Amino acid sequence: MPNSNLIGIGYDPIQGSPVCYTGDCHMDGFKHSVFNLEYTSWKPGACTNLTVPAYTQLLCLPSVAINAHTEELSSISQLRQSTFNAISTSATIYGWGKLEGFFASYGYSRQTTYLAETLIEKRQSIFHTTANITFAKLTMLEPMMQLSDSFRFVIEHMPCCSYDNDIKDYIISYIFDYFGFSFVSEMLLGGTAQEIITIDSERLTELKTRGLQTQHCVSPGYVFKLLGSITTISNSTTTTQEEFRKNLTSTKMSQLGGDPALVSGPLANWIETVPNNPSMMKFKVKYISDLITSRRFPNDSSFK
């Protein structure tokens, strides 16, 4: 199954981008694989005939679920809350909880920096509409899985035994830089269709004073009506929607997962292709340090 190889991959939350509005940032923070993956044939009757790694479990959702919403970002405080919400729902560390502790670091990611510059320097307001299609959940049973040759090599050749600058440099260069300090142990698979539009903030204020209700002009039902049937009831007239649209300074649509060739077609057609090419939408991670044990490295006396 496409992207099932992300299970067991190393991850650095400091470099990651859980707040990702484009495909180019989707893989930020992911490193080399910590585990050796062996693919096995899937059981008949499952929701897919694609293979998944051994010692993992694919839990198929009863039906494809669609969740669509729109956010208006007109201030740094709104951007901060949006970023905080995305971090809270995108990644979790077992034994610690949500990645909220890394919020300050994520504030410097290229995605949030771009949006902050759009709000402040360009004096633009941003509307971000997203439709998430969830398909299945893939989890791993790491005690039964073998570590990758590269990760095992790095650990076995780590200098011993007192902590000094040599060991510090080795850990940073060969463990954190190559593998991060956590690994993906569970992930939700599916697809995302989204649109980001910008409009001059002063012009938006003017339109609102004239009675424009932006929640109708950028509702998921309106934004995706050309892509298929995510329907919402709108009280706004077509004329009002067109007036809002003609004042936009930029519009960008993108999709993650599914068949990229169907990006401009009906959304229903694209949804049908998501199970054959799902992307990782949410994930949980565990600490790499939990893997450095005497059971994993029985011949290394420093781990006893």
* pLDDT tens sequence across 183-223: 999 998 988 877 788 888 888 888 788 777 776 666 555 44
- Residue 227 pLDDT: 45
For residues 116 and 109, the model is more confident at 116
Rounded mean pLDDT of the chain?
75
Residue 52 in contact with residue 36, Cβ under 8 Å? no
- State how far the Cα of 136 lies from the Cα of 153, in Å rounded to an integer: 33
- Please say if the pLDDT value at position 14 is more than 80: no
Instruction: Find the range with the poorest average confidence among 38-42, 61-65, 224-228, 271-275.
Output: 224-228
Mean pLDDT value of segment 269-274: 83
The token pair that represents 171 in the structure block: 């850990």
Q: Which domain holds residue 205?
A: 4-303
Residue 54 in contact with residue 146, Cβ under 8 Å? no
Helix (H, G, I), strand (E, B) or coil at 302: helix
- Please say if the pLDDT value at position 233 is more than 50: no
DSSP state of 55: T
- Residue 101 pLDDT: 44
Mean pLDDT value of segment 270-291: 87
Mean pLDDT value of segment 82-104: 49
- Looking at the structure of the chain, the number of domains it has is 1
